[in-house]
Amino acid sequence: MRSISAENLAALPARKLVLADLLWIEVRDRSTGDRVVEGQWSGVGQRGMQVINPRTGGVETRTFYGTYTLTEISDIPLVHNITVQTVTVKMSQINARVEELLRQYDAQQAPVQIFRTLFDPETMQQVAPAMPRFLGFVDKIEIKTPAENEDGGVNLTCKSHTQEMTRFNTDTRSHESQQLRLPGDAFFRDVAVVGDWEHFWGKVNGKLETSPGIKAATKG
């Protein structure tokens, strides 16, 4: 069961609410590497809208632009586990701003947030801050340039942030690496040579035996 705000819960029985989807994407400038943030929504016009930041839980006001550029968002599974979810976002291929975001800037692995908000149809004001529905990254970009009399578009395939848990750390447990994490920490100072140390136990001497698990731990 998903909890919603008291404002949304009170407004839902009227069955006259207007739904809107919001997309927040953080691309990178190819020249400087600086972050460029952009908000798009499924409506028309520029609007400042309140959203619940999925990372902090706080309410923020962000600016979203719309000329029917955000055409479709696939179903978003609402699950209580850490499985990696995939969501497809379809955008207008003929919109100049969309072209700029995806061609001029680097959108590969760009952080993405998707929200849904409800509007009062009489005032067209938000009933409550937009709820976050998806947090992840752009995994694949497909820009379809249509032939004559065919449909084009932009498809962003996004993976949820839980995919970060599937990545492997290429760093090794070494003294040099530990100094980058915590300068002055000597815990791994002898990790490269400790396997060659010889210890005397009574009349027997030799290298200290280590299990395969310990050997693997010193490598990754």
pLDDT in tens, 182-191: 899 888 888 8
Residue 4 pLDDT level (bands cut at 50, 70, 90):
confident
Nearest to 68, CA basis, from 93, 49, 85: 93
The secondary structure of the chain as a DSSP string is: -----HHHHHHGGG---EEEEEEEEEEE-TTT--EEEEEEESSBS-EEEEEE-TTT--EEEEEEB-BS-EEEE------SS-PPPEEEEEE-SS-HHHHIIIIISB-TT-EEEEEEEEE-TTT--BSSPBEEEEEEEEEEEEEE---TT---EEEEEEEEGGGGGGPPP-----HHHHHHHSTT--TTTTTTTGGG-EEEETTEEEEPP--HHHHHHTT-
pLDDT in tens, 15-35: 678 889 999 999 999 999 999
Residue 168 pLDDT level (bands cut at 50, 70, 90):
low
In this predicted structure, what is the pLDDT of residue 35?
A: 94
Percentage of the residues of the chain whose pLDDT score is greater than 70 = 85
pLDDT at 56 over 90: yes
Six token digits for residue 26: 């953080």
Every domain of the chain and the residues it spans: 6-166, 175-217
